Chain A
């Protein structure tokens, strides 16, 4: 399995509090992605990174920010959590060995905003 670790595995937080989710990879892959998974929606892209300090928005980026100061770490921050951000969050990485390289996913973080 690709070396991807997400932390925490579960988190419960209150509305209005800041939350940071961490994705750590040991594969030295250039590309990293944050998705959220909600029933009836599949997985949707929040933000992605194509290198250190190079990030861009995805389909559902409102209310989220990201940072990538090192190749191995990609952080997702909810500046002020809302109940609509209750979801399962997945980090994914993609290798550079070919255009058909699949994305490999972490085990997800279940976030509950009360």
Chain B
């Protein structure tokens, strides 16, 4: 079974600085997708960024980028120029590509990292 590990329960960053959130995963599959979701205090789950395992290039979305190391099974999220609105819980998630929908269309989540942003 696949597992996702976020080893940093809490992180803190100064406004305008850069922070990196760690995520590792365990799988025997070669084709899969990885996601980062943000959950602010409003409780809403917001997709931040996604990465296809077959792509070598790291995904980027504005101030958010990932460092995807397939061999190491690592998928870290870098937030540049941190803003107060980035304060939230961040979840890393894995999704198998082997059988779309059903239990393998399910997202497997890490336990989350709570990010605080200091003004």
Contact = CB atoms under 8 A, between A and B. Distances in A.
Contacts of B100: 96, 99
B111 A41 contact: yes
Nearest to B47: A102
A56 B102 contact: yes
Interface of A, helix, strand, loop or mixed by DSSP: strand
Nearest to A57: B103
B45 A58 contact: no
Contacts of B41: none
A100 B50 contact: yes
A48 interface: yes
A107 interface: yes
Interface residues of A, number: 27
Given A88-B43, A100-B33, A31 B111 contact: no
B109 A43 contact: yes
Contacts of B102: 31, 48, 50, 56
For the complex of A and B, list the 5 residue pairs with the smallest distance between their C-beta atoms, beginning with the closest: A105-B45, A42-B109, A42-B111, A43-B109, A99-B97
Interface of B: 4, 33, 35, 42-45, 47, 50, 52, 91, 97, 100-103, 105-107, 109-112
Interface of A: 30-31, 33, 40-45, 48, 50, 56, 58, 88, 90, 92, 94, 96, 99-100, 102-105, 107-108, 110
